């Protein structure tokens, strides 16, 4: 066994081997150095479990970031300069507000020449001019639409659809017909006409402005009731421009109702009769009305019969039922199933063309609603 401090291969050549050399423990010969195993630890290994004193920062891209900021500032400056230039060259002019005009309405009762015919609803319809009318909303047909100079095809369609909704609500809704509700009609009106409409419903007056029957069809539920929910309808719609910001629609429709007494009794068995209402209405739309699906009702001309000439028809219509007669008649005969400018002033005599009430066998019968049998007049 070699002494302490000797290399693995023994004492180096040429050196005295003994313990008296005081530097022997620190002197390494060539064989010891070759046999030594050197290992260098990495920086992380030298740190051991100590936490990092500092953290590395992300690479800085000052040049790229500064270019993006400069480009954004330039774009903002260009947009601002463009807005200022456009504002100076084309100053904004707010649209001139137009208030809806009050409704002007006329309601004409039509008195029968004799007793009002009665029977079953189906039989009465089959022998009346309404035999070929369509039922309910299907009788209110929209015409072919095309754009005008200042309104698109979709805007024209919106106006016609809003008018149809108004006609359905004011002429066909059972709750409205019996006086149970007026809300479906009021919701479609321009807010400027809300006060006039409300007063017409609560305090009707024969002044040409506050007749409830100018806005809608309404019967006294204490006296009459619908005998058949299928109301017969025929008519037309027409539209035209009234200016660059105004669109007008004219509706001309005839509605035929089957009515019976509100309280049936033995003496009233089978006492169903027909009641006819012709409504010619003029509507106006501005662009705000079209956007909000509402309308302005400008004029309303109504003929309704059979009725007596004397009762006030501004609040409700007063149909004469099966077997009843009018105490007096108007000065001229008026047929609500024909078209053209109405001429009756205060009261008329109900006339129904015999050629329309019963078509000969093999004949095509009255024109259909789509055949242009009725015309609207501005």
pLDDT above 90 as % of the chain? 53
Give the H or E element holding residue 297: strand 296-305
pLDDT for 373 equals 30
> Contact, 2 vs 10, CB < 8 A?
yes
Q: How far apart are CA 5 and CA 347, in angstroms?
A: 143
Mean pLDDT within 198-222 = 95
pLDDT value, residue 362: 36
Pair type for strands 246-261 and 348-350: unpaired
Which pLDDT belongs to residue 355? 37
Q: How confident is the model at residue 68, as a pLDDT? A: 82
* Residue-wise pLDDT tens digits, 90-104: 554 444 456 889 999
| pLDDT (0 to 100) of residue 334 | 53
More confident residue, 180 or 54: 180
Q: Taking 60 as the threshold, does the pLDDT of residue 57 lie above it? A: no
What pLDDT is recorded for position 354?
A: 38
pLDDT-derived band at 327 (thresholds 50, 70, 90) equals confident
Least confident among 194-203, 227-236, 320-329, 351-360: 351-360
- Nearest alpha carbon to residue 136 among 297, 295, 23, 255: 255
Q: What are phi and psi of 232, to 5 degrees?
A: -90, 135
C-alpha span between 159 and 295 (Å, rounded): 8
Q: How many CB atoms lie within 10 A of CB 273?
A: 26
- What kind and span of H or E run contains 171? helix 153-171
Q: What is the largest CA-CA distance in the chain?
A: 162
Predicted confidence at residue 351, as pLDDT, reads 77
d(C-alpha 303, C-alpha 252), whole Å: 11
Which has the higher per-residue pLDDT, 333 or 122? 122
Q: What average pLDDT does the segment 27-56 reach? A: 63
Residue range 351-364: average pLDDT?
42
| Alpha carbon distances (Å) from 173 to 165, 169, 183, 226 | 10, 5, 11, 11
Q: Is the pLDDT of residue 58 over 90?
A: no
What pLDDT score does 375 carry? Answer: 29
The helix/strand count (H/E) of the chain reads as: 11, 9
Residues 352-359, mean pLDDT to the nearest whole number: 43
Q: What pLDDT is attached to residue 214?
A: 97
* Omega prior to 306 cis, within 30 of 0: yes
**DSSP secondary structure, 256-291, as one string:** EEEEEESS--GGGTTBBEEEEEEEEEEEEE-HHHHH
Kindly give, in sequence order, each residue whose CB lies less than 8 Å from that of residue 221, ignoring residues fewer than 6 positions away: 178, 179, 180, 262
Beta bridge partners of 258: 274
State how beta strands 296-305 and 224-226 pair: unpaired
Rank 68-72, 255-259, 345-349 by mean pLDDT and report only the highest: 255-259
Are the CB atoms for 314 and 210 separated by under 8 Å?
yes
CA distance 210 to 284: 19
Task: Compute the distance between CA of residue 103 and CA of residue 298 in angstroms, rounded to an integer.
Answer: 5
List, for residues 27-38, the tens digit of each pLDDT value. Answer: 666 676 666 666
H/E run at residue 248: strand 246-261
Q: Quick one: pLDDT at residue 312?
A: 87
Q: Distance (Å, rounded) from C-alpha 16 to C-alpha 22?
A: 12
| Both tokens assigned to 164 | 């149809």
Q: How far apart are CA 12 and CA 30, in angstroms?
A: 9
Contacts of 222 (CB under 8 A, 6+ apart): 262
Over the Cα atoms of the chain, what is R_g? 47
Locate 312 and state its tokens: 């006030």
- The reported pTM is 0.67
The pLDDT assigned to 361 comes to: 35
């Amino acid at each position: 066994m070699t002494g302490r401090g000797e290399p693995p291969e023994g004492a180096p050549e040429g050196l005295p081997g003994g313990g008296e050399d005081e530097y022997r423990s620190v002197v390494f010969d060539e064989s010891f150095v070759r046999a030594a195993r050197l290992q260098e630890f990495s920086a992380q290994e030298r740190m051991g479990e100590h936490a990092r004193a500092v953290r590395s920062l992300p690479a800085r891209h000052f040049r790229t970031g500064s270019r993006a900021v400069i480009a954004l500032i330039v774009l903002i400056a260009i947009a601002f300069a463009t807005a200022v230039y456009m504002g100076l060259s084309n100053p904004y002019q707010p649209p001139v507000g137009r208030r809806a005009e009050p409704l002007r309405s006329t309601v004409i009762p039509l008195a029968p020449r004799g007793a009002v015919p009665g029977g079953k609803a189906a039989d009465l319809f089959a022998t009346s001019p309404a035999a070929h009318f369509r039922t309910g909303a299907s009788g209110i047909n929209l015409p072919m639409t095309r754009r005008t100079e200042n309104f698109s095809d979709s805007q024209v369609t919106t106006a016609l659809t809003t008018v149809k909704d108004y006609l359905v609500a004011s002429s066909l809704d059972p709750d409205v017909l019996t006086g149970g509700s007026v809300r479906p009609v009021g919701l479609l009106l321009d807010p400027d006409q809300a006060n006039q409409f409300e007063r017409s419903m609560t305090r009707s007056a024969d002044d040409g402005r506050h007749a409830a029957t100018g806005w809608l069809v309404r019967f006294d539920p204490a006296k009459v009731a619908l005998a058949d929910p299928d109301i017969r309808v025929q008519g037309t719609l027409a539209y035209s421009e009234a200016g660059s910001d105004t669109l007008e629609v004219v509706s001309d429709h005839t509605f035929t109702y089957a009515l019976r007494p509100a309280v049936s009794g033995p003496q009233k068995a089978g006492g169903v009769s027909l009641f006819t209402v012709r409504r010619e209405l003029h509507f106006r739309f501005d662009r705000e009305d079209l956007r909000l699906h509402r309308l302005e009702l400008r004029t309303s001309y109504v003929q309704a019969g059979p009725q007596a000439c004397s009762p006030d028809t501004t609040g409700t219509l007063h149909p004469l039922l099966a077997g009843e007669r009018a105490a007096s008649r108007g000065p001229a005969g008026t047929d609500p199933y024909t078209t053209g400018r109405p001429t009756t002033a205060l009261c008329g005599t109900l006339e129904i063309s015999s050629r329309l009430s019963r078509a000969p066998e093999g004949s095509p019968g009255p024109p259909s609603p789509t055949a242009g049998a009725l015309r609207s007049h501005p």
